[in-house]
Amino acid sequence: MAIVVNLDVMMAKRKMSLNELSEKVDITLANLSILKTGKARAVRFSTLEAICKVLECQPGDILEYVAD
Amino acid sequence: MSKTDNFVFWGLYSVAWLIFVGLSIEAGGLLVNFFFSLYNPEFIQNLYQKLDLIDMYQNSKLAFFGIYSFILIIAVLKAGLFYAVIKLMHKMDLSKPFNTFVAKQILQISYYTLSIGFLSYIARQIVKSLHHHGFVPNNLNQFWADSQAFILMGGVVYIIAIIFKKGIALQTENDLTV
């Protein structure tokens, strides 16, 4: 997919584990894992907002467009 | 799922099994008859369901083997159709019905039904054209009755399969939306 999710990079910068992020963002570990591994087809704005709030970053820090 | 729906579902499953057993016996009987008739042509006078094709066999072996092939293939396809229905009903999880297995099975059911319909129609037309020869028995039409009904049902089931596939695509999209 052309949209690359750099969630693991941001999590490493904030020294946060997936479990911790899952609890703070109130999204299941399974869904976060889907997002982290690039298998997600779509992301809700509410989810993006919650992740950016917890990781103190911008959507552009997590999402990147790479031409196929 | 409500108790009534569950009851109806399992009732239909039992009925499908009974019909499948009946159709398997018919297909098996026709197949055995076929092999017997190859080695002992006298058997052709008394085939499955009191079918007497001895006149056809003596006048035109091509017509006999052609018509009998149609009878056999349609019987086998009918048994295959109900096997596909049983397989679907047995493996389907009614709490999560939208998956690729169900879509594939419904599509397969539509292909079986359409094949039965078209082959029945063709067989009926061939028998009609052979009537003037005088060696066609009257009780042949029992094997390809309601060909139009099968074609209609096959078309409807095919449309349902397409809609189901779209439903699965939407379900997957929803499942992978975080």
How far apart (Å, rounded) are the C-alpha atoms in residues B34 and B16? 27
Query: ipTM of this complex > 0.85?
Result: no
Which chain B residue lies closest to A39 (C-alpha atoms)?
B176
User: How far off is chain A from B101, nearest CA to CA, in Å?
Assistant: 21
Q: Indicate yes or no: CB of B176 within 8 angstroms of CB of A41.
A: yes
Q: Is the dihedral of CA B97, B103, B104, B107 positive or negative?
A: positive
Q: What is the share, in percent, of chain B residues with pLDDT greater than 90?
A: 48
Q: Could you tell me the pLDDT band of residue B1, with boundaries at 50, 70 and 90?
A: low
Q: Is the dihedral of CA A31, A35, A39, A40 positive or negative?
A: positive
Please write the tens of the pLDDT for every residue from B49-97.
Answer: 677 777 888 888 888 889 899 999 999 999 999 999 999 999 988 887 8
Q: Does B100 touch chain A (CB under 8 A)?
A: no
> Strand A3-5 and strand A63-65: pairing?
antiparallel
pLDDT at B145: 81
Q: Contact, B89 vs B16, CB < 8 A?
A: yes
Q: What is the share, in percent, of chain A residues with pLDDT greater than 90?
A: 87
Which chain A residue lies closest to B172 (C-alpha atoms)?
A41
How far apart (Å, rounded) are the C-alpha atoms in residues B40 and B153? 39
* Domain A3-65: CATH superfamily, name plus number: lambda repressor-like DNA-binding domains (1.10.260.40)
Q: Contact, A10 vs A4, CB < 8 A?
A: no
Q: Could you tell me the pLDDT band of residue B21, with boundaries at 50, 70 and 90?
A: very high
**For residue B32, what are the contacts with CB-CB under 8 A and spacing of at least 6?**
none
On the question of pLDDT at B164 being above 80, the answer is yes
Domain boundaries, chain A: 3-65
Which of A31, A41, A52 should we substitute to test contact with B (largest number of B Cβ atoms within 10 Å)? A41
Domain that holds residue B107: 3-177
Number of domains in chain B: 1
A47 vs B contacts (CB less than 8 Å) = 178
